[in-house]
Structure 1
Amino acid sequence: MAEKRNIFLVGPMGAGKSTIGRHLAQQLHMEFLDSDIAIEERTGADIAWVFDVEGEDGFRKREESIINALTEQKGIVLATGGGSVKSKENRNRLSARGTVIYLETAIEKQLARTNRDKKRPLLLQTDNPRETLQSLASECNKLYEEIADYTISTDDQSAKVVANQIIKILEER
């Protein structure tokens, strides 16, 4: 891959965007960025705190600003937050500024992968994580599909295998 075009990973929480993104960036000798980590660094507080204080709307405004700034960089692998595609501006920027890979996963896998995670405000605020994930899927899956250049299931594969699949797809195009 002579040209290091940006690679943006989208998909629901628990799809493996951060883990796969790190593998991908390492193998491609690109910088790995995570929009949630960037928000935490910029605010000096964790995502759960931002949600508590500013609500989801306040968090989404911050996320839009961060994604705008990060996607202007060149040669990056970016893991986005699961709900980042709710913003039309984010969808437009991601589509225009790089290759978008939708990491698809089943609700069962999301539940298993996020089970003990204490950094997921949308799951911490609910008594029924399955219902929350299903609601998010019905809202966001069509948006991931809308902007994806490629879709890969992460259900029964290791992060390394998925990263290798992405590299193969990018080399073939």
Structure 2
Amino acid sequence: MNPAPHLVLVGPMGAGKTSIGRRLAARLGLPFTDMDARIEANAGAKVTTIFQLEGEAGFRARERAMLDEVLRAPSQVIAAGGGVVLADDNRRALRERAFVVCLDLDVDGQLERLARDRTRPLLQRDDREAVLRDLAQARAPLYAEVADLRFATDGMKPEDAATALATIVDAQWRRSEAAA
């Protein structure tokens, strides 16, 4: 969507939504929100704990509420969780109220970036590669459905990706005011 009040980054885990998003927001002179971090702050618990106590369904309910909250706030850059696209209502809200950039990263790149990461609830299994391939297959069409722009982050450092992406976004996104 163009114009839109918010710039939202979606994509698979490890694609750089938080690290690139923080730098991109600084370049664009906008506040930055990491949805998972906000969910953790509101819950007083890590995402892994929320998954353990409430299951994925409980976390997704919190994610839906957080997306609604951040999309009603003043313009900002938002790093959404990788699974935000799973809910129809979330995809509709993203299409209606955000310029959505899908950060693309192939499974090999994800495995490399997430090799030492033990905080991702969906990766708490022995065959991480199979999990990532299954997630990629299931979510790719949903990312495509909401994306106004696709940006590959393979082999890029966050600072370089943010610089390149800022130039592209500046040419394609016309920011409007957020509606409450």
TM range (shorter): over 0.9
Residue aligning to 1:108 = 108
Q: Calculate percent identity across the aligned residue pairs.
A: 38
Q: How does 1:24-43 map to 2 (within 5 A)?
A: 24-43=24-43
Report the RMSD for the aligned CA atoms in angstroms. 1.3
Amino acid at match of 2:167: K
Residue aligning to 2:131 = 132
- Report if the CA contact (8 A) 2:4-2:99 is conserved: no
Unaligned runs of 5+ in 1: none
Instruction: Kindly indicate whether structure 1 or structure 2 has the higher relative contact order, using CA contacts under 8 Å at least 6 residues apart.
Output: 2
Q: Per-residue deviation at 1:97? A: 1.0
Q: Which runs of 4+ in 1 moved over 4 A?
A: none
Indicate yes or no: 2:67 matched with 1:61.
Answer: no
Q: Distance in 2 between matches of 1:26 and 1:6?
A: 14
Task: Kindly provide the CA deviation profile for residues 11-34 of structure 1, in whole angstroms up to 9, marking residues without a partner as x.
Answer: 000000000000001111111101
Q: Per-residue deviation at 1:63? A: 0.5
Q: Per-residue deviation at 1:112? A: 1.0
Residue aligning to 1:46 = 46
Number of aligned pairs? Answer: 170
Amino acid at match of 1:16: G
Unaligned runs of 5+ in 2: 173-180
| Structure 2 SS opposite 1:152 | strand
Q: Distance in 2 between matches of 1:130 and 1:118?
A: 14
Q: How does 1:152-167 map to 2 (within 5 A)?
A: 152-167=151-166
Normalised by the length of structure 1, the TM-score is 0.94
Amino acid at match of 1:129: R
Task: Kindly provide the CA deviation profile for residues 76-128 of structure 1, in whole angstroms up to 9, marking residues without a partner as x.
Answer: 1000111110011111111111110000001011011111112101102x110
Q: Per-residue deviation at 1:5? A: 3.3
